[in-house]
C-alpha cells in the first residue's frame, strides 16, 4: 500500500514509498511499467504519451504507471522488483579515460569513477549524464559490473544539434570530467529460468544487450539465446565482429542474426534484409515459450510487442523492453 500525491505518477509515488516497480524509460514508450487497474480510476498526466499501450490493452484495464496518476483509491495488479543487494542510486564525478568511434555516428566512451567509489549496478541498467541547466541524458551501461573492473562503458549516437552529443563528437576529450547519476531501470535478464530467450536490438539499443551477453559469458547458464541486431546499413552494426566472436564462444548457446533494412551495400550483403522484428517472426512463428528482451527505437519495440503477441502467441508478461527515446535540444 502507498499514498500518491495529487498529479504524481503512480510510479514515482511507489518509489517514494520504497516500493520498486518495473520501469525503464519513464516516457510511456517501453511499456515496462504496465499494470492492470482492478478497482478505482486513474487519470493521465499532462504531456505523457503512453504509446506502448494498444487500444486492446487499455480496454483490458492496463495502464502505464509512469503516465498515470490516481483519481481516488486504487487497487493495482503489478509486479514488484525485489531489492538488489549493494545497489543504490548515487551521483558521481567520472573521468573520460577512452573514446573510440565505433561508427561515423557512434562513440564508445569509457568512464572511470573516483578511486574507492565504484558504481554497483546490474546488467541492463542505465545512468544519467548530468548537464548544465538541470538537463540530463540517459545511456545504458554496455558492460556488466565485474569484479576488479571499475570502467563504465557508454555507446553514444550523435544527434545533429543535440545538446550533449554535439559536445561528445566535437569537444569532449580524454581526461575531461562528467557527472553521472545512477543506476536506474529494471531491465535485465531473468536468470532463474531456462526458457529460450530472444535478444532484439536496433542501433545503440545494442549497448544493454552487450551487457546481458557478457553477463551470460561469465555464467554456467545453458539457456539458448538468439541475438537479432538490426540496422539500416552495415556500419550500424558497429560491433558485428564481436557478436561473431560471442557466437563461437557460446557455441550451441547463442545464435547471432544481423539484419539490415536499407543498405546502400545491399548487393554485397549476404545476410538478412528487412525489419529486424520480422526476421524474428520468420524464424520463430511460435514464441509462446520464449522470453524476449527488446532494446532500441520505440517504433521497433512497440512493433515487436504488438506482432509477437498477436501473430506468434507470445505471453505479454514475457516481453521485456528498454526503448531508447531521443532527447533533442
CATH of the domain at 229: 3.40.50.80
Q: What gap in Å lies between CA 312 and CA 318, rounded to an integer?
A: 13
Q: Where is the domain boundary, 126, 152, 184?
A: 184
Write down the pLDDT at residue 277: 97
In this prediction, residue 85 carries a pLDDT of 52
Instruction: Please list, in sequence order, all residues whose beta carbon lies within 8 angstroms of the beta carbon of residue 101, skipping any fewer than 6 positions away.
Output: 107, 108
Phi, psi dihedral angles at 73 (to 5 degrees): -65, 140
- Report yes or no: 328 and 302 within 8 Å, Cβ to Cβ: no
Whether 62 and 124 map to the same domain: the answer is: no
Whether residue 315 is found in the same domain as residue 223: yes
Alpha-carbon torsion (13, 14, 20, 21), positive or negative: negative
Q: Model-level pTM? A: 0.81
Q: What is the CATH number of the domain that holds 160?
A: 2.40.30.10
Range of the domain at 71: 10-77
Residue 3 placed within a domain: no
Q: Which of 26, 54, 77 is the last residue of a domain?
A: 77
pLDDT score for 323: 76
Cell of 209: 544487450
Longest dimension (CA), the chain: 60
pLDDT of residue 329: 47
The domain boundary, picked from 53, 77, 101, lies at: 77
Both 211 and 303 in a single domain?
yes
Residue 82 in any domain: the answer is no
Domain CATH code at residue 43: 3.10.20.30
Q: Read off the pLDDT of residues 132-148 as tens digits, 9 standing for 90 and up.
A: 988 889 999 999 988 77
Cis peptide before 183 (omega within 30 of 0): yes
Q: Are residues 150 and 253 in the same domain?
A: no
Name the helix (H) or strand (E) containing 169. helix 165-170
Pairing of strands 126-131, 135-140: antiparallel
Contact 140, 211 (CB under 8 A): yes
Pick the closest to residue 7 from 44, 55, 47, 38 (CA basis): 44
Say whether both 228 and 319 belong to one domain. Answer: yes
User: What stretches in the chain show pLDDT beneath 50?
Assistant: 83, 329
Amino acid at each position: 500500500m502507498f499514498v500518491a500525491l495529487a498529479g504524481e505518477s503512480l510510479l514515482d509515488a511507489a518509489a517514494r514509498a520504497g516500493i520498486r516497480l518495473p520501469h525503464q524509460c519513464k516516457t510511456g514508450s517501453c511499456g515496462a511499467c504496465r499494470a492492470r487497474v482492478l478497482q478505482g480510476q486513474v487519470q493521465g498526466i499532462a504531456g505523457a504519451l503512453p504509446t506502448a499501450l494498444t487500444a486492446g490493452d487499455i480496454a483490458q484495464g492496463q495502464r502505464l504507471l509512469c503516465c498515470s496518476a490516481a483519481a481516488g483509491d486504487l487497487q493495482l495488479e503489478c509486479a514488484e522488483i525485489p531489492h538488489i543487494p549493494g545497489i543504490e542510486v548515487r551521483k558521481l564525478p567520472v573521468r573520460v579515460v577512452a573514446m573510440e568511434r565505433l561508427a561515423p555516428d557512434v562513440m564508445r566512451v569509457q568512464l572511470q569513477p573516483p578511486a574507492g567509489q565504484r558504481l554497483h549496478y546490474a546488467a541492463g541498467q542505465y545512468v544519467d549524464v548530468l548537464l548544465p541547466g538541470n538537463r540530463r541524458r540517459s545511456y545504458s551501461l554496455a558492460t556488466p559490473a565485474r569484479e576488479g573492473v571499475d570502467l563504465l562503458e557508454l555507446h553514444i549516437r550523435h544527434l545533429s544539434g543535440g545538446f550533449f552529443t554535439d559536445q561528445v563528437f566535437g569537444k569532449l576529450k580524454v581526461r575531461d570530467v562528467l557527472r553521472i547519476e545512477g543506476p536506474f531501470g529494471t531491465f535485465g535478464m531473468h536468470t532463474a529460468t531456462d526458457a529460450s530467450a530472444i535478444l532484439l536490438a536496433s542501433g545503440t539499443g545494442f549497448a544493454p544487450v552487450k551487457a546481458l551477453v557478457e553477463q551470460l559469458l561469465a555464467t554456467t547458464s545453458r539457456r539458448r539465446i538468439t541475438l537479432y541486431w538490426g540496422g539500416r546499413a552495415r556500419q550500424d552494426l558497429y560491433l558485428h565482429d564481436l557478436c561473431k566472436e560471442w557466437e563461437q564462444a557460446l557455441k550451441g548457446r547463442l545464435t547471432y542474426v544481423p539484419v539490415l533494412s536499407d543498405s546502400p551495400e545491399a548487393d554485397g550483403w549476404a545476410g538478412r534484409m528487412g525489419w529486424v522484428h520480422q526476421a524474428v517472426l520468420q524464424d520463430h512463428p511460435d514464441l509462446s515459450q520464449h522470453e524476449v528482451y527488446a532494446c532500441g527505437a520505440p517504433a521497433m519495440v512497440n512493433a515487436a510487442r504488438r506482432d509477437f503477441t498477436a501473430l506468434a502467441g507470445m505471453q505479454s508478461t514475457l516481453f521485456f523492453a528498454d526503448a531508447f527515446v531521443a532527447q533533442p535540444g
